[in-house]
Structure 1
């Protein structure tokens, strides 16, 4: 370190890696070897994060019962010289799917003690975008997210979910609403212009107060979900309906509570200030969602500076 160089405040990183990867054929996306030398996507992501902000103090991986052992085998108890913590996001017995990214965030709560960044384990964001987020949460007293134009973050083939963001003139988020199953054809058919500002599910939080708010909102969601389940079972009993299905079409069985939805609720209740950091001049992120994404990511690492 140079004599006059200031010591950066430390931050922690939370990687979300508990998803089912249903669109990707059930394979663990973050463990796919997309690097030029056989590196997994997760290895490349952590490398870029450490380059973006050298004062990362620890890595927290939110995993599922299915992804825990494979990811642990790669990461171990230390990774890139950083201590590693694993948190298992468990699925209730009455469901087959996780309860969403808010539940995943809450799983990491006991290990987070100050500013932290949350990011998907199946995405590569590039050093510049990660640096923006990390530097913001150590200098400002607001949460933040990088913002991208919709057309820049849609896969060439297939569909994805994206949160559309509305901001004011000071780049404060007014609304963030998840849109489901978006593809390029939606732009071609005029449903979107392609210039909409979107989230790539990477957020920075300057302190741990988000956990109390997330816990309150998640408990409310869970109560509503359990009421739906109980009502569904009551209707079955009253109608004497015997079903052999796994209730996959029932709302309580698949509905999730996700970060963008929670943040939107907090924004409407003035419980959080969320800033958008413009990424218009920054490299386009890469992610694995559909099977066809693997070849694209592997062959276009230059888009995130690799």
Structure 2
């Protein structure tokens, strides 16, 4: 069996979720959290290790709420995303309080993840299709002349909108061969009354095709991508201007730059599964109801782990 790892990014503070730790909110009938369902789907798809990327101060809570339980069914490791975790010889920007974004989160796995891996967010429900398609892609051979070969679950924008406010999505341009041409982080996307979507740009609302592919930070990578993240992070930090405490080193931006420089090919694996998550505290009742519906349809047992 090919070793493959699921990496879960769970270091977010969750400020829009009422100040609590939204990743640890119980959603299922037996106290399951969203990560439980993602891990269940990943194991079912063939992944055999889980790495949690968390804040150091959440380690005990994670182990109590999910880690100790998951260790009974799959190998588990923890890595910590902290603002001071920068490449050797690179100084931290004085005054910086928050970590550096999703690129740094995955870079935290260097030395722990040495096999093909899938990246997901902790607070998003992705459905089963993406896990299966990405796992199968990761264990296949992909002959190519480019340095980096990767894949992405291509969600349909209309399936990823919240009823309770705006969302940020990586809006994708995809060619006829299902290769990613570009991905643009777009914030403030809202659902329209007519079922469409739009976002604000320069003071006016711009319509966006709800059938567009979007990235939900569900990526499949070869372990050598971690070397690329490390060298790119050094460059990113070196180009920061004095007093810049907000810039982030983001996966979609990194991938986009690699594609445009013709150093990478990213295959988009379409999924029609409907996303749900807890971006806002008002989302929780919807998530609870959605999970119960999936259980009633037989997609999950009432209790995930016996």
Q: Is the 8 A contact 1:145 1:276 kept in 2?
A: yes
Q: Which residue of 2 aligns with 1:209?
A: 224
Cα deviation, 1:174-218, whole Å, max 9, x if unaligned, reads: 10111112111482655212121101111111x211111111111
1:168–1:44 CA distance, 2 compared to 1 (3 A): same
69 and 139 in structure 1: CA distance in 2 versus 1, 3 angstrom threshold: same
DSSP 3-state at the match of 2:168: strand
Deviations along 1:222-257, one digit per CA (max 9) or x if unpaired, are 1122xx12xx4xxxxxxxxxxxxxxxxxxx212211
- State the Cα distance separating 1:34 from its structure 2 match: 0.5
> Are positions 1:295 and 2:296 aligned together?
no
What is the correspondence of 1:243-254 to structure 2 with a 5 Å cutoff? Answer: 252-254=244-246
Unaligned ranges ≥5, structure 1: 1-7, 233-251
For residue 72 of structure 1, report the CA deviation from its aligned partner.
Answer: 2.1
What whole-Å deviation, never above 9, does each CA across 1:18-39 have from its counterpart, x for those lacking one?
Answer: 0111111232222111012221
- Structure 1 pair 287/216, CA: closer, same or farther in 2 (3 Å)? same
Q: What's the TM-score, normalizing by structure 2? A: 0.83
Are residue 218 (structure 1) and residue 208 (structure 2) matched?
A: no
Distance in 2 between residues matched to 1:62 and 1:130, nearest whole Å: 18
Runs of 4+ in 1 over 3 A off after TM superposition: 302-306
**Pairing 1:166–2:173 present:** yes
Equivalent in the alignment of 1:13: 6
SS in 2 for 1:104: helix
User: What does residue range 177-216 of structure 1 map to in structure 2 within 5 Å?
Assistant: 177-185=184-192, 187=197, 190-205=206-221, 207-216=222-231
Aligned residues: 271
Which structure has more helix as a fraction of its residues?
1
Q: Where in structure 2 are there 5+ consecutive unaligned residues?
A: 85-93, 143-148, 199-204, 301-306
Distance (whole Å) between structure 2 residues aligned to residue 29 and residue 44 of structure 1: 15
Distance 2:265 2:72 in 1: 33
TM-align CA RMSD = 1.9
SS in 1 for 2:185: strand
User: 2-side partners of 1:287 and 1:80: how far apart?
Assistant: 26
Taking a change above 3 Å as real, the CA distance of residues 140 and 161 of structure 1, as seen in their structure-2 partners, is farther
Give 2:36's aligned residue.
43
Once the two structures are superposed, the pairs formed by residues 116-155 of structure 1 within 5 Å of their partners are: 116-141=117-142, 142-155=149-162
Structure 1 Cα separation of the partners of residues 274 and 69 of structure 2: 31
Secondary structure at 2:64 match in 1:
helix
Could you tell me which residue of structure 2 aligns to residue 60 of structure 1? 51
- Partner Cα distance (1:94, 1:140) in 2: 45
Per the alignment, residue 3 of structure 1 pairs with: none
Structure ID, larger Rg: 1
Given that 1:17 and 1:67 are in contact with CA atoms closer than 8 Å, whether structure 2 keeps it comes out as: no
8 A Cα contact 1:28 1:67, kept in partner: no
- Provide the TM-score with structure 1 as the length reference: 0.83
Equivalent residues of 1:285, 1:303 under 8 A apart: no
Q: What SS does the corresponding residue of 2:186 show, helix, strand or coil?
A: strand
Contact 1:161–1:178 (CA under 8 A) maintained in structure 2: yes
